[in-house]
């Protein structure tokens, strides 16, 4: 039976980053993933699932050797961010305020994953099992990892990077604190006539925020056409109605309900998912450690989910660097580093989400005044921006 130092279950963005990081430490790594990412072609349509990648996440991906390959495919840097409820009460942010070239990048999740997977061949000590899934774990001095294919491996540490419904978390007996926001989120890829590829904006409404994320331009008939990802929060019933529409019908609804800043659009593709919050009651148990969505999910209001996951990876690699034995005390240091930050970001996003998702007149007055004041808040505004972007 083969023996590994670390088995990473889940080869998405966060799991792949952890696998590469542990391989760079010289450890023998097993990565298990159910489905390989589709290859990239320059003329293929944009994916629905995208993330707002912070500059700190870019630094982490650079340290793993994966950012260059990702950016060589397609990414969309943005320099400005605006948020408002009433059009006259806006808070605006610009990269110049932080002395940065851009605030971050909007990137398709799959392309980040591909950039990381491209690093696997650099490491003879990294073994990929794909397509395959975790069947069971047997705990002892070493953990026996059994896969659906029938293969079994002995490992010192199991890393759960297998998403919000983590099997690693369940098998390790780790409970979660969770609730449903009773809302769904719809993602709509569009072409946009207005040149707005350097800005992401968000307008709050009683039924939920509506947002614009810039995407890489496409070339059509020899001309560049802007693209964007629209994010529409609403009741499950309303989102179900929208998803059942034709692209032409959905376009009419978008133009009716999104702010005028959007301008003329054409709908390309769309999909939806429910909003839930989960937080593991512990990040470690029985030789297993949780990272990314396996440990915590967050309201996607500011697109911080994957950035928190990459910070998990960074912290886990920091505490394990140079450690021959990946003991519970070492892993506890990881949990102490990450749990408070993840909880703070979860709570902060919930505060904004719940604070703006109602039509109570006195509260509307207060929150719009707060946005107006925040626009001229100087250093405080800069600190809020750093927090929103997941910067240290």
For 170-181, the pLDDT digits (tens) are 999 999 988 777
Beta strands 210-220; 199-203: pairing state: antiparallel
Q: Which of 15, 90, 99 is nearest to 310 (CA)?
A: 15
- Whether residue 360 is predicted with pLDDT greater than 60 in this model: the reply is no
* CB burial string 271-282: b at 16+ within 10 A, e below: ebeebebbbbeb
What pLDDT, on a 0 to 100 scale, did the predictor assign at position 353? 56
Q: Is the pLDDT of residue 206 over 70?
A: yes
pLDDT the model gives residue 363 = 40
Rounded to an integer, the average pLDDT of 371-383 is 51
Determine the pLDDT at residue 281. Answer: 96
Residue 333: is its pLDDT beyond 90?
A: yes
* Residue 367 pLDDT grade (very low, low, confident, very high; cuts 50, 70, 90): very low
Mean pLDDT of 135-161: 96
Would you say 189 and 229 are in contact if contact means Cβ atoms under 8 Å apart? yes
- For residues 231-253, give the mean pLDDT: 96
pLDDT of residue 176: 94
Q: Is the pLDDT of residue 223 over 80?
A: no
Mean pLDDT value of segment 34-46: 93
pLDDT at position 366: 41
Sheet containing 210-220: give its strands across: 90-94, 80-84, 199-203, 210-220, 223-234, 176-192, 265-280, 296-297
Q: Residues of the chain with pLDDT > 70: what percent?
A: 84
H helices within the chain, ranges in order?
Answer: 13-24, 55-63, 67-73, 109-117, 167-171, 236-243, 247-257, 305-320, 328-356, 361-375, 379-388
Q: What is the pLDDT of residue 91?
A: 81
pLDDT of 253-311, one tens digit each?
Answer: 999 999 999 999 999 999 998 888 889 999 999 999 999 999 998 766 656 679 999 99
Task: Summarize the confidence of residues 36-54 as an average pLDDT.
Answer: 93
Residue, of 307 and 383, whose pLDDT is higher: 307
Residue 347: predicted pLDDT:
67
Q: Residue 220 has what pLDDT? A: 60
pLDDT in tens, 60-115: 999 999 999 999 999 999 999 888 877 777 788 888 887 889 999 999 999 999 99
User: 3-state SS of 163-202?
Assistant: CCCCHHHHHCCCCEEEEEEEEEEEEEEEEECCCCCCEEEE
pLDDT recorded at residue 338 = 96
Given a cut of 50, is residue 364 above it in pLDDT? no
Q: What is the mean pLDDT of the chain?
A: 87
């Amino acid at each position: 039976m083969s023996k590994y130092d670390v088995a990473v279950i889940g080869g998405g963005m966060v799991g792949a980053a952890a696998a590469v990081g542990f391989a760079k430490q010289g450890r023998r790594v097993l990565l298990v993933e159910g489905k390989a990412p589709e290859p990239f072609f320059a003329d293929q349509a944009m994916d629905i699932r995208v993330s707002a990648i912070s500059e700190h996440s870019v630094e982490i991906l650079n340290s793993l050797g994966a950012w260059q390959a990702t950016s060589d495919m397609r990414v969309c840097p943005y320099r400005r961010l605006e948020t408002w409820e009433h059009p006259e009460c806006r808070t605006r942010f610009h990269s110049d305020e932080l002395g940065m070239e851009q605030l971050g990048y909007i990137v398709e999740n799959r392309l980040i994953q591909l950039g990381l997977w491209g690093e696997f061949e650099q490491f003879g000590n990294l073994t990929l099992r794909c397509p395959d899934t975790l069947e069971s774990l047997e705990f002892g001095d070493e953990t026996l990892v059994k896969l659906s294919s029938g293969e079994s491996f002995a490992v010192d540490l199991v890393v759960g990077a297998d998403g919000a419904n983590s099997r690693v978390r369940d098998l390790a007996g780790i409970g979660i604190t969770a609730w449903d926001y009773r809302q769904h989120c719809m993602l709509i890829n569009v072409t946009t006539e207005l040149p707005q590829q350097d800005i992401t904006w968000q307008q709050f409404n009683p039924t939920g925020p509506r947002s614009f994320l810039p995407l890489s331009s496409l070339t059509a008939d020899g001309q560049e056409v802007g693209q964007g990802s629209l994010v529409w929060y609403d009741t499950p019933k309303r989102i179900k109605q929208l998803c059942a529409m034709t692209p032409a019908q959905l376009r009419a609804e978008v133009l009716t309900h999104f702010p005028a800043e959007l301008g003329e659009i054409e709908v390309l593709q769309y999909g939806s998912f429910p909003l839930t919050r989960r937080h593991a009651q512990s990040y470690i148990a029985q030789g297993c450690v949780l990272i990314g969505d396996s440990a915590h999910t967050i309201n996607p209001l500011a697109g911080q989910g994957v950035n928190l996951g990459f910070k998990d990876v960074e912290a886990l690699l920091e505490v394990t660097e140079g450690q021959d034995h990946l003991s519970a005390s070492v892993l506890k240091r990881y949990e102490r580093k990450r749990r408070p930050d993840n909880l703070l970001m979860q709570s902060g996003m919930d505060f904004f989400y719940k604070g703006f998702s109602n039509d109570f007149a006195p509260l509307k007055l207060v929150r719009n005044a707060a946005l107006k004041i925040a626009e001229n808040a100087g250093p405080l505004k800069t600190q809020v921006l750093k927090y929103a972007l997941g910067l240290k």
